[in-house]
A and B are shown apart, each in its own frame.
Chain A
């Protein structure tokens, strides 16, 4: 079902002072694949997302985009490659309206002047196709509810037609109906051949939409599972480290061998 490899991390490490946040992380994302990134608090999920998004630069290792190594110095670089990120804190500008936020950094211009009409039209079309309920696209984001902000943030990620979309805890603050909507949205992204990296603590969400589940534990890979051949218990024990598994055992052996 998954297509070619679009994004690959090879041995990525990141240190913050005395803390080794990420160690030798390997991750592959294919087109039309939903990769769930799971792990306990402090496992390094958000750091990994920020490394891919260009907020942090990895200390070691390479990021490959469509087969060739790339360096992502700034968030703009990631955007230009086609990596869109929805952060946990959404990063919306409260004083701008919905249209302004959706197109922030990617405004449609006619002769350097903002084309508000075209942007509003596209915003409405986009929100409609996602069946998103927003009172108006011309009210400041400050007056939207948490769920509405979340869908606006996700819709914003889709404006630039990205190849890979990273969602950091997209359903954490949402009610039942909005969660279902976001999960539908994730599946729609897969149908449109996007690669999706989904960070979530919610196992039900992960099992519902993910094709592959990558587990991080204390900044290291702790197993990559194909959803068809795994179950929730196996993933949870990989997250908590309650059991070690074939993957970690092989890695441990590999490290002993190399040292």
Chain B
């Protein structure tokens, strides 16, 4: 969103790489980058346009303008994370130990996977209240097939995922085709799928995983070699830098505003610091958990789907204006059904990781505060409840916040009663921030 052209008429450095063009004399930069002008057309730059300035001052100004107009992005959740970590870190030094943080990175995967699905549904401005039950159901399907009936682990895994997808499709059909509010369909599903799970588990009620099956291995595998974590971090940073540079070059070649190299370098360095710090911490303990790697891959791939494919654009359009999307020729029913299918499939993925975490599928799987935590993670991470705004990364950030609070309180020995109250308060705070931000955005003409 914030592509810009370096160089500004207020005395900034002129661009060195190409001969000056007529549009160089116009104000430029920031999200308010001007439209270039055909030779004989009237200059298309609106004189009322607020123009971002060069350098650090420009960044600060842009930052202040965004904050005051309610475009908070990931800032609240990053601040919350810093506060939580410093509070628990000061209360008990073991909270910030490599061991605890490594375990945390594994524990958030189950909830985080479910939260990714919730992000998709929230982008439509809808809600899915069945994800908890669906995660339990799919975990039970896998456990019963694999352990009780001795079905091949890969077949059992595929059946569990397909089961999740089928559940989502059924709920999607009732929502999109029949027209029942998603809230009601998924609330009914929450109860119904929980019942089906109990049925699947049968009389014993608990099925213990063998510990050697594919799901357990996906969760518990940790790559102990130093190179694994550092290599992953390096690949991630390199991919980011490469993609940014290629994009900037294509934009420059096409004559549209692009991100200056200094900007890309700054972002890459920031990302590299975070990535390598995380890799270092993981290596201090056992190494890179496979579950975390899979979680990150899901986030990156689905983020790409949302932001760079026609499908993702249609999901966002539906969250912005359903009637507008319909008239633009978007198949509203299909998008809705597919999003609910994705959400339930992600719930299945999350459920399998949660089952691997406790090494069993039981009657309490998918119950408790899992549903609330998954929704809270998506909202806390910055995905709007009102639709049309959000990204898959909010699942990671939100799950980190929720996981950190739980982990910290467990270390402190805080009772469940207090934990529930605090988690509830954090969710409420996140929704309040979302609502206030939206109100400010409206006032500032951004929503």
Contacts and interface: CB of A to CB of B under 8 A. Distances in A.
A133 B45 contact: yes
B224 to A, nearest CB: 36
A143 interface: yes
A231 to B, nearest CB: 34
Given A114-B308, A128-B35, A142-B446, A95 B41 contact: no
A176 interface: no
Interface stretch (A9-17, A33-41, A117-125, A190-198): A117-125
Interface string B249-289: 01100111100000000000000000000000000000000
A94 B46 CA distance: 20
Interface residues of B, number: 50
Contacts of A134: 35, 44, 46
A8 to B, nearest CB: 23
**Interface residues on chain A, size class:** 35 or more
A91 B325 CA distance: 8
B256 A117 contact: yes
B41 A129 contact: yes
A91 B44 contact: no
B389 interface: yes
A121 B31 contact: no
A135 interface: yes
B213 interface: no
Contact of B36 (A106, A124, A142): A124
Contacts of B324: 90-93, 104
B310 A131 contact: no
Interface string A79-98: 10000010101111111110
Contacts of B320: 93-96
B270 to A, nearest CB: 22
B32 A135 contact: yes
Given A94-B447, A128-B35, A112 B310 contact: yes
Given A93-B325, A121-B255, A135 B38 contact: no
A139 B31 contact: yes
Interface stretch (B9-17, B101-109, B326-334): B326-334
Which of B309, B325, B329, B447 gathers most chain A CB within 10 Å? B329
A116 B246 CA distance: 13
Contacts of B388: 93-95
A75 interface: yes
B321 A136 contact: no
A176 to B, nearest CB: 16
Contact of B44 (A93, A105, A127, A139): A127
B325 to A, nearest CB: 7
Contacts of A89: 323
B408 interface: no
Given A134-B46, A139-B31, A75 B327 contact: yes
B65 to A, nearest CB: 12
Given A96-B317, A135-B34, A143 B310 contact: no
A55 B441 CA distance: 32
B313 A91 contact: no
Contacts of A129: 38, 41
Contacts of A94: 320-321, 388, 447
Contacts of B254: 117-118, 120-121
Given A117-B251, A117-B254, A143-B446, A75 B326 contact: yes
Contacts of B37: 128
Nearest to B251: A117
B329 A136 contact: no
B342 interface: no
Contacts of A97: 1
A23 B319 CA distance: 37
B40 to A, nearest CB: 10
Given A95-B316, A95-B320, A143-B446, A113 B256 contact: no
Given A104-B328, A117-B251, A140-B446, A95 B313 contact: no
A73 B247 CA distance: 40
B31 A138 contact: yes
Nearest to B304: A113
A91 B310 contact: no
A94 B386 CA distance: 12
B297 interface: no
Given A85-B327, A121-B256, A139-B32, A132 B3 contact: no
A105 B45 contact: no
A240 interface: no
Given A93-B320, A95-B320, A131-B44, A105 B32 contact: no
B328 A131 contact: no
Contacts of A188: none
A107 interface: yes
Nearest to B50: A135
A120 B38 CA distance: 15
A107 B251 CA distance: 17
A223 interface: no
B150 interface: no
B335 to A, nearest CB: 12
A74 to B, nearest CB: 8
Nearest to A153: B324
A249 interface: no
A91 B35 CA distance: 23
B32 A137 contact: no
Interface string A133-162: 111111110110000000000000000000
Given A93-B325, A121-B256, A128-B44, 5 more contacts: A95-B316, A104-B313, A105-B328, A120-B254, A139-B31
22 contacts: A55-B327, A87-B327, A89-B323, A90-B324, A94-B320, A94-B447, A95-B319, A96-B317, A97-B1, A104-B328, A104-B330, A113-B309, A117-B247, A121-B256, A127-B35, A128-B36, A135-B34, A135-B46, A136-B31, A136-B33, A138-B1, A138-B33
Interface of B: 1, 3, 31-38, 41-42, 44-46, 48-49, 247, 250-251, 254-257, 308-310, 313-314, 316-317, 319-321, 323-331, 388-389, 441, 444-447
